[in-house]
Amino acid sequence: MTALNEPLPPPVPSKAFLDRLALRRSAPAQALTTPGPSQAELDHILALGARTPDHGKLFPWRFVVLGPQSRAEIASRLASLVELRNGPAKDQAVLAKLTAAPVTILVVSSPVPGAKPIWEQQLSAGAVCMNLEHAAGGFGYSASWITDWYSYDPQALPLFGVGEGESVAGFIHIGTLNEPALERPRPEMSAKVTRLP
Ligand SMILES: Cc1cc2nc3c(=O)[nH]c(=O)nc-3n(C[C@H](O)[C@H](O)[C@H](O)COP(=O)(O)O)c2cc1C
């Protein structure tokens, strides 16, 4: 752990790092299987995920680590919710994504009221999600960032301990992909970049 105000080394050029960024891809959540991160690796992944910019040093997010047992229990209660509200079959089908991976980190956006703009605090939670995926990749695991209907359902959120004023930034499922990831369309950069002199 680096001490507070200790000088940090400057970034060094790293082709391996650039190659990783150039080839990184999310995994389909259902295709994530064992092995998953060990407890020590998971702690490391969480610490790296938390090393994320936020305006005001508010750390406006928190983690819920969900193992297979808690996810299975929650998924069965979510299945009852789908039935209760006569939800579409798709709502039931996507529950398979919640339970497949060896481990899941729920990133909860937990903005501090009256501090910096809420939007900025939520952006920071999104950055945490991306950092978690990178950190998982650094340990050789694949990851998937999912929300799905239960991230927005007021009856579902308490099952995950998401409280008033909080929202789900993402479920980051982590494990090993037992098939190659396939490239997907990427944007035409000229349509996305404006250059000003
Ligand atoms: C905030 C957020 C929520 C997402 N929710 C879902 C979801 O509920 N279901 C899904 O299939 N994909 C979802 N995705 C998309 C997956 O993460 C997708 O596989 C990924 O964006 C693929 O991009 P990549 O290959 O560049 O990683 C979500 C992505 C983000 C950023």
Q: Quick one: which atom of ligand 1 is closest to the CA of 126?
A: 1
Mean pLDDT, to the nearest integer, of 163-179? 96
Across 59-68, 128-137, 160-169, 174-183, least confident range: 174-183
Nearest to 62 by CA among 162, 164, 174, 175: 162
Q: Which position has the token pair 């064992």?
A: 34
- Look at residue 150 and tell me whether its pLDDT is greater than 90: yes
How far is the centre of ligand 1, averaged over its atoms, from the C-alpha of 28 (Å)?
9
The model's pLDDT over 78-116, given as tens digits with 9 standing for 90+, comes to: 999 999 888 789 999 999 999 999 999 999 999 999 999
Q: How far apart are the C-alpha atoms of 106 and 150, rounded to whole Å?
A: 12
Q: Which two tokens stand for residue 80?
A: 């009852």
How far is the centre of ligand 1, averaged over its atoms, from the C-alpha of 46 (Å)?
20
How far is the centre of ligand 1, averaged over its atoms, from the C-alpha of 143 (Å)?
10
Mean pLDDT, to the nearest integer, of 130-155? 97
How far is the centre of ligand 1, averaged over its atoms, from the C-alpha of 4 (Å)?
35
Nearest to 107 by CA among 172, 24, 19: 172
Q: How far apart are the C-alpha atoms of 47 and 40, rounded to whole Å?
A: 11
Q: How far apart are the C-alpha atoms of 101 and 27, rounded to whole Å?
A: 10
Q: How far apart are the C-alpha atoms of 137 and 131, rounded to whole Å?
A: 10
User: Residue 13 — left, alpha, or beta (φ > 0 → left; ψ -120 to 50 → alpha)?
Assistant: beta
Q: Quick one: which atom of ligand 1 is closest to the CA of 181?
A: 25
Q: How far apart are the C-alpha atoms of 133 and 137, rounded to whole Å?
A: 6
User: Residue 146 — left, alpha, or beta (φ > 0 → left; ψ -120 to 50 → alpha)?
Assistant: beta
Q: By alpha-carbon position, which residue is closest to atom 10 of ligand 1?
A: 146
The model's pLDDT over 48-61, given as tens digits with 9 standing for 90+, comes to: 999 999 999 999 99
- CA distances 57 to 51, 95, 115, 125, Å, are 11, 35, 10, 13
The model's pLDDT over 122-140, given as tens digits with 9 standing for 90+, comes to: 999 999 999 999 999 999 9
Q: What pLDDT, on the 0 to 100 scale, is given for residue 62?
A: 98
End-to-end CA distance of the chain: 41
Q: How far apart are the C-alpha atoms of 98 and 74, rounded to whole Å?
A: 9
Q: What pLDDT, on the 0 to 100 scale, is given for residue 71?
A: 97
Q: Which two tokens stand for residue 20?
A: 């990783």
Report percent pLDDT > 90 for the chain: 94
pLDDT band at 178 (very low <50, low <70, confident <90, very high): confident
| Beta-ladder partners of 146 | 171
Q: What pLDDT, on the 0 to 100 scale, is given for residue 137?
A: 97
Q: By alpha-carbon position, which residue is closest to atom 20 of ligand 1?
A: 26
**Domains detected in the chain:** 48-174 (3.40.109.10)
How far is the centre of ligand 1, averaged over its atoms, from the C-alpha of 144 (Å)?
7
Q: Which two tokens stand for residue 56?
A: 């005001």
pLDDT band at 2 (very low <50, low <70, confident <90, very high): confident
